[in-house]
Structure 1
Amino acid sequence: MLRTGIALLAIACAAPAFAHPHVFAEARLDVNVDDQGNIASLHHVWRFDDLFSSTVLVEFDKNQDLALSQEELDEVAGVVHASLADFNYFQLVTRDGKDVAMEAPDRLIADFVDNQLIILFESKPEAPLALDGKISLGVYDPTFYTAIDFIEDSYMTVNNLPAGCTQSVVRPDPDEALAQNQQTLTEAFFEDPTGNDMSKIFATRLEIACNKDS
């Protein structure tokens, strides 16, 4: 039987619709660009809220010493890795509005600092992702169960951004997002938001645009 802590991330889609998130995390995203002007990798860091972190501690602290050993942290990372596989690890990556296929990370790293669970991982596009057109990157949970947000704009960065390219952090206004997508927000969406992928319209995202003539 899946545990009640981290396993909630895995069973969220099978649960009844939730009106608001139950798990919260602060995120950092570093986008790494190679010398050919392709996005080479995304480096994610998530710091989870105290309540969820304490649940993880209780669930995985086998020797009950109120700490997580490296072995216990590795188990946490393994459970999260398996749980998020069906959700593309909560990644939002698009080019000109179309989803970009991402390789699954080989592994996740878990840490426990100041009584908070931290998850780190790196992912890569399946095919070379040139800085061409408008590229959007972010994090969102399609089930609405987990709210992962970037508290400061500086928590979303691009390393080795080529000349002629710009980066900006977009924080959608909920009312504007609803108005712009009203044709796709059907009655079924509001009856069961966990059954669709529309939560991405509310996600904070990093947008990269490049001038091809530069």
Structure 2
Amino acid sequence: MKLKMRTAILASATTALLVSTVPASVHPHVFAEARLDVVLNPDHTVKSLRHLWRFDDLFSSTVLMEFDKNSDLKLDDSELKEVANTIFTSLGEYGYFQIVTANGKDVKMKPPAHLMANYENDQLIVLFESEPEKPLKLSGKIDFGVYDPTFYTAIDFTEDDNMSVANLPPMCTKQVIRPDPDTAIAQNQSTLTDAFFNDPTGTDMSKIFATRLELNCTAKG
């Protein structure tokens, strides 16, 4: 089976790795440890989502080799800005890997105003913040998650505390949901067709496997 890798987190840094058509099974090749902080307004609406991704050493070294224009084995401010701009452009097509739902319906998010990149301890670090397009009240069930629709990148929250929300009102409870892949497939078998595993453009069905922060609120904020 051939899968055209269109994720292109860093299109120019990973031309051969992510963009070309190569034989591949549906599993991730790039890994990142993540943190997600949900920020609330005083009126109990969601202000923003703050993301931090720390990429694996192998992918980070690929980025270093591509963007280290002066060959000093580090990324200076101008090089990091180029990295950030490339990621910003590449991820726009995929909604910045975010998933937000309110009572089962997708919530539209504004593109982040900008994206920051850093390189520490041989790892690429990406930070950005996004806001809902419309006020998002804490009512019913709200889910926040991160996923790559092409399965090429695995965004992993290694600890439940890495998905947090400060000052959650008493009317709400929170939990981190880590779907079991076998259970997720069984529950969604009717929509998981051959196209799901072969579509080179990716599919939002991969969100059923995403770790997510779930808020359950008994009344409107």
Q: State the TM bucket, normalised to the shorter chain.
A: over 0.9
Q: Measured at CA, do residues 160 and 18 of structure 1 come closer, stay the same or move farther in structure 2, by a change above 3 Å?
A: same
Q: State the identity %.
A: 62
Q: Distance in 2 between matches of 1:124 and 1:46?
A: 18
Q: Which amino acid aligns with 1:110?
A: A
Q: Measured at CA, do residues 168 and 44 of structure 1 come closer, stay the same or move farther in structure 2, by a change above 3 Å?
A: same
- Encode CA deviations 1:81-123: one digit per residue, 9 max, x unaligned: 0000010000011111111000000110000010000000000
Q: Which amino acid aligns with 1:48?
A: F
Is the Cα–Cα contact under 8 Å of residues 139 and 220 in structure 2 kept in the other structure? no
Question: 1:5, CA displacement in angstroms?
Answer: 2.5
Q: Distance in 2 between matches of 1:50 and 1:162?
A: 39
Q: Which of 22, 28, 37 pairs up with 1:21? A: 28
Secondary structure of the residue that 2:99 maps to in structure 1?
Answer: strand
Q: Measured at CA, do residues 158 and 139 of structure 1 come closer, stay the same or move farther in structure 2, by a change above 3 Å?
A: same
Match of 2:214 in 1: 207
Q: Measured at CA, do residues 212 and 59 of structure 1 come closer, stay the same or move farther in structure 2, by a change above 3 Å?
A: same
Q: Which of 52, 56, 66 pairs up with 2:59? A: 52
Q: Which runs of 5 or more residues in structure 1 are unaligned? A: none
Q: Distance in 2 between matches of 1:100 and 1:213?
A: 17
Q: Structure 2 matches for 1:7-156, cutoff 5 A? A: 11=19, 18-156=25-163
Count of matched residue pairs = 211
- Encode CA deviations 1:41-89: one digit per residue, 9 max, x unaligned: 0000000000000000000000000000011001100000000001000
Is the Cα–Cα contact under 8 Å of residues 17 and 194 in structure 1 kept in the other structure? no
**Is residue 177 from structure 1 mapped to residue 184 from structure 2 by the alignment?**
yes
Q: Which amino acid aligns with 1:40?
A: K
Is the Cα–Cα contact under 8 Å of residues 34 and 160 in structure 1 kept in the other structure? no
Q: Distance in 2 between matches of 1:7 and 1:121?
A: 26
Is the Cα–Cα contact under 8 Å of residues 6 and 80 in structure 1 kept in the other structure? no
Greater shift, 16-25 or 51-60, is seen at 16-25
TM-score (norm 1): 0.92
Question: 1:33, CA displacement in angstroms?
Answer: 0.8
TM-score (norm 2): 0.90
Q: Distance in 1 between matches of 2:182 and 2:188?
A: 10
Q: Which runs of 5 or more residues in structure 2 are unaligned? A: 1-10
After superposition, the CA RMSD in angstroms is 2.0
Q: Measured at CA, do residues 44 and 21 of structure 1 come closer, stay the same or move farther in structure 2, by a change above 3 Å?
A: same
- Encode CA deviations 1:127-174: one digit per residue, 9 max, x unaligned: 000011110001000011100010000000001211110110000001
Is the Cα–Cα contact under 8 Å of residues 6 and 56 in structure 1 kept in the other structure? no
Is the Cα–Cα contact under 8 Å of residues 17 and 192 in structure 1 kept in the other structure? no
Q: Distance in 1 between matches of 2:215 and 2:22?
A: 35
Question: 1:4, CA displacement in angstroms?
Answer: 3.8
